[in-house]
Amino acid sequence: MTRPYNFSAGPAAIPAEVLEQAAAEMLDWHGSGMGVMEMSHRGKEFLSIYEQAEADLRELLAVPANYKILFMQGGGLAENAIVPLNLSRAGAVDFVVTGSWSQKSQKEARKYASEVNIVASAEDTGFTTLPDPASWTVSRGASYLHICSNETINGIEFHQLPNLKALGSDAPLVIDFSSHVASRPVDWSRVGLAFGGAQKNLGPAGLTLVVVREDLLGHALPACPSAFDYKTVADNQSMYNTPPTWGIYIAGLTFQWLKRQTEGSLTGVAAMEQRNIAKAALLYNAIDSSQLYVNRVAANCRSRMNIPFFLRDESRNDAFLAGAKERGLLQLKGHKSVGGMRASVYNAMPIEGVQALVDYMREFEQKHA
């Protein structure tokens, strides 16, 4: 069955193979007589699903042994509170503001941290640039420094994570990697904690992934809800309360799909990175070489996952979207706060989908020249 190409920013397209397998197993998982949604999270069937998913993710992202993988709930926005509840020690925290999501994060942290320092911001460029880490005014003794490593709305990505030690900061780096997790390898030597909702690159909404270095556990504020205390969650293998079992199962199938992907001699996330580089280059080249479309983000920080673009003649937006839908190119409308268009090209989007979009964009431009 061929499906339309779905450019949603999230919840987003899931590989068809994953959906087909989930459909085939819906009523009876592996001869157990139960669907996954109907199983006890403490039974041997679900425990095997959970253990496989965790092991596969650890392998795919090369997560070191001294980091815990937690499967939580609440999404990225809940983590904006859960991170300071666990890591701030009610002290000062540092933030780099590069777009809508890091802006939201720093506002929420003010409820829990005694001080929030904005050590760099790209607000003055309308969030089209990434402040050079060498210019960040990191503070002494901050409990952590937070960045959003891929800004889903503004289309800004850190292509390299900052080395805080080299900037004179001993703070652990916290990254919100919601919208580019598993799109490229992670340099864990630079990261203390990473969090992300699953609904873009890993599976369905309702599952939140947290990867946290062990020495950061056990410092939660007294007011932190037990179900959100990372140490409690880690000590109970993410089963202090009922985990999002369906989300873990679908993410697990996605991890197996990822492990099967190859590009030349590369496999898994390294293979995806090569594909994502090629997909993004194809679309940015089409935008930059046209008279009709424009993307204003500086070349060194353009996101490979979320590519916003505008029609120079905005009166044609509705016609563009209607024509796209007719050709099976879905959910291209930009975020309401910025307008225009946005193509999210996560791992599940094949290069053929990007090519179909580029072909349509050229056709539309010629028709309206």
Separation of alpha carbons 70 and 234, rounded Å = 6
* Catalytic residue from among 68, 94, 136, 176: 176
Helices 245-260 and 44-60: crossing angle in degrees, nearest 10, is 40
Within the chain, residue ranges assigned H as helices are 16-24, 44-60, 75-87, 100-109, 230-235, 245-260, 268-288, 317-326, 351-367
Separation of alpha carbons 133 and 164, rounded Å = 9
Q: Is 29 a catalytic residue?
A: no
For residue 125, say whether it is annotated as part of any ligand binding site: no
* Catalytic residue from among 29, 101, 229, 231: 101
Sign of the torsion formed by the C-alpha atoms of 20, 23, 28 and 29: positive
For residue 94, say whether it is annotated as part of any ligand binding site: no
CB burial of residue 202 (10 Å; 0-12, 13-18, 19+)? buried
Q: Is residue 120 within 8 Å of residue 134, measured between CB atoms?
A: no
For residue 101, say whether it is annotated as part of any ligand binding site: yes
Q: Is 136 a catalytic residue?
A: no
CB nearer to ligand PMP: give 75 or 243. 75
**Which residue, 361, 354, 344, is CA-closest to 278?**
354
Q: How far is the CB of 301 from ligand PMP (least distance, A)?
A: 14
CB nearer to ligand PMP: give 146 or 231. 146
Q: How far is the CB of 316 from ligand PMP (least distance, A)?
A: 27
* Catalytic residue from among 68, 200, 279, 333: 200
CB nearer to ligand PMP: give 11 or 185. 11
Q: How far is the CB of 152 from ligand PMP (least distance, A)?
A: 3
Q: How far is the CB of 191 from ligand PMP (least distance, A)?
A: 15
Q: Is 200 a catalytic residue?
A: yes
For residue 241, say whether it is annotated as part of any ligand binding site: yes
CB nearer to ligand PMP: give 172 or 197. 197
For residue 201, say whether it is annotated as part of any ligand binding site: no
Binding site for ligand PMP (CB under 6 A): 10, 75-77, 101, 148, 152, 176, 178-179, 197
Residues 6 or more apart in contact with residue 100 via CB below 8 angstroms: 127, 151, 152, 153, 154, 335, 337
Binding residues: 42, 101, 152, 176, 199, 241-242
Binding residues for pyridoxal 5'-phosphate: 101, 152, 176, 199, 241-242
What amino acid positions are annotated as catalytic residues?
101, 176, 200
